[in-house]
Amino acid sequence: MTDPEEHWKTDGAFSDSGFDTSFFAETARKGSIVSRANSIGSTSASSVPNTDDEDSDYRHETSFKDSFKDRRRQAHTQAEQKRRDAIKKGYGDLQSIVPTCQQQSEFAVGAQKISKATVLQKSRNLLQFEHFYTELLVEKKNSVQTIIKPFSYFKMCRLCVRHDE
């Protein structure tokens, strides 16, 4: 019979993946030693032979995982802070544009500031007013054009008649 660990010890030059398979063989060997010790149920330190190299490898691997997690956590924290700052800046810009927000913040007592919900409501109200006012101006423009159009036609006809004389 062949040893189950021999399966991992193939020549890297002939393997399909081209990876160094000795890493996998070493990992499988360490795992089998620990699993054998755990299956016996022994808790004594002498049952699992650990060398100083194995301990330092484990600590290095753990510290690498921890440092990776720390870097990932820091990157996430920075991205989240950047997102919050962008939202805060957006609300500040919106508040500075909307006149009713400016007026309300001028009369605010002490350090009291306008809530984000209030900024959004006042912005919505301003947009509705602007939309209504724009439609009103378009209607006035159209009505004025309907009044002016006959006069401009009449004026053009008068100019044509004078030109012919």
Taking only the tens place, the pLDDT of each residue in 95-121 is: 999 988 887 666 656 657 889 999 999
Are 127 and 100 in contact, with CB atoms under 8 Å apart? no
Cα–Cα distance for residue pair 58/64, rounded to 1 Å: 10
pLDDT over 90 at 152, yes or no? no
What confidence category does residue 58 fall into, taking pLDDT thresholds of 50, 70 and 90?
low
Residue 45 DSSP class: G
* pLDDT (tens digit per residue) in 9-21: 444 444 444 545 5
Question: Kind and range of the H or E element at 143?
Answer: helix 116-164
Task: State both tokens at 60.
Answer: 């290095």
Mean pLDDT of 44-73: 68
pLDDT for residue 106: 62
Of residues 140 and 105, more confidence is placed in: 140
